[in-house]
């Protein structure tokens, strides 16, 4: 006994679904993957650079800009800004205002690239009146104002180093297949829903 089954109709539907997956799901999954992997590489770079400078990772991450992938631009780019980090990121010990009882100001110590310096004329104060965020200032004249905001080094030189590039490349190779599989599954499940 022989059976003849025609699957012409289902084949057309399958072709249409595969075409939809290729044109809608794959690009969305790719873009999301590229952006997430770029963020992972940014974190890995900050984790590599910060200890070398004696800075905090959050400060280094703020100096690395992510140019996100889009449908028209299928790549994500990390760009280090040339602006120097504020000196408060390198302060050793408390980052609270240095005003002490009796009107005296405590000394400010900053550790940059493993070397500690004491800044006798510098002081830590809030950025704005009532703000909890502080920064390091120095007076530019014997008068109360104007104040000069003090900066440390920038991250550009360390960002361009070969070791940092290798750290970022390794993170991309590690995260890309994981993120792509995860995002592809996410968009396929979303596509299946009515």
pLDDT at 156 over 80: yes
pLDDT given for residue 105 in this prediction: 62
Of 130, 137, 128, nearest in space to 98 by CA: 137
Q: How does residue 1 score in pLDDT terms, banded at 50, 70 and 90? A: very low
Q: What is the pLDDT of residues 51-76, one digit of tens each?
A: 999 999 999 999 999 999 999 999 99
What distance in Å separates the CA atoms of residue 187 and residue 128, rounded to the nearest whole number? 46
Pairwise pLDDT comparison (38 vs 94), residue with the higher score: 38
Q: What is the pLDDT of residues 124-135, one digit of tens each?
A: 888 887 778 888
Pairwise pLDDT comparison (120 vs 116), residue with the higher score: 116
Of 182, 147, 140, nearest in space to 28 by CA: 182
What's the mean pLDDT in 91-107?
A: 68
Asked if residue 81 lies in contact with residue 67, where contact means CB atoms within 8 angstroms, the answer is no
What's the mean pLDDT in 105-120?
A: 84
Pairwise pLDDT comparison (144 vs 34), residue with the higher score: 34
Instruction: Give the gyration radius of the chain's Cα atoms.
Output: 27
What distance in Å separates the CA atoms of residue 125 and residue 106, rounded to the nearest whole number? 11
Q: What is the pLDDT of residues 175-190, one digit of tens each?
A: 999 999 999 888 888 8
Of 15, 30, 56, nearest in space to 184 by CA: 30
What distance in Å separates the CA atoms of residue 38 and residue 40, rounded to the nearest whole number? 5
What distance in Å separates the CA atoms of residue 175 and residue 167, rounded to the nearest whole number? 12
pLDDT given for residue 20 in this prediction: 65
What distance in Å separates the CA atoms of residue 176 and residue 30, rounded to the nearest whole number? 10
Which CB contacts under 8 angstroms, 24+ apart, belong to 177-183? 179/32, 179/33, 179/36, 179/37, 179/40, 180/29, 180/30, 180/33, 183/28, 183/29, 183/30, 183/32, 183/33, 183/36
What's the mean pLDDT in 78-92?
A: 91
């Amino acid at each position: 006994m022989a059976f003849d089954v025609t699957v012409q109709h289902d084949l057309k539907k399958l072709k249409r679904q595969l075409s939809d997956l290729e044109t809608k799901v794959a690009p969305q999954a790719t873009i999301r993957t590229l952006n997430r992997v770029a963020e992972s590489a940014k974190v890995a770079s900050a984790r590599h650079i910060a200890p070398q400078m004696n800075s905090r990772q959050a400060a280094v991450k703020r100096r690395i800009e992510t140019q996100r992938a889009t449908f028209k631009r299928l790549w994500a780019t990390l760009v280090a800004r040339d602006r120097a980090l504020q000196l408060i990121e390198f302060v050793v010990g408390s980052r609270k205002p240095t005003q002490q009882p009796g009107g005296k100001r405590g000394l400010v110590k900053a550790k940059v690239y493993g070397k500690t310096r004491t800044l006798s004329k510098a002081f830590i104060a809030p950025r704005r009146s009532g703000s909890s965020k502080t920064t390091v200032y120095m007076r530019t004249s014997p008068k109360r104002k104007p104040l000069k905001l003090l900066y440390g080094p920038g991250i550009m030189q360390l960002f361009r180093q070969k070791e940092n590039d290798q750290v970022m490349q390794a993170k991309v190779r590690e995260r890309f297949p994981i993120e792509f599989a995860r995002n592809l599954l996410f968009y396929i499940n979303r596509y299946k829903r009515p």
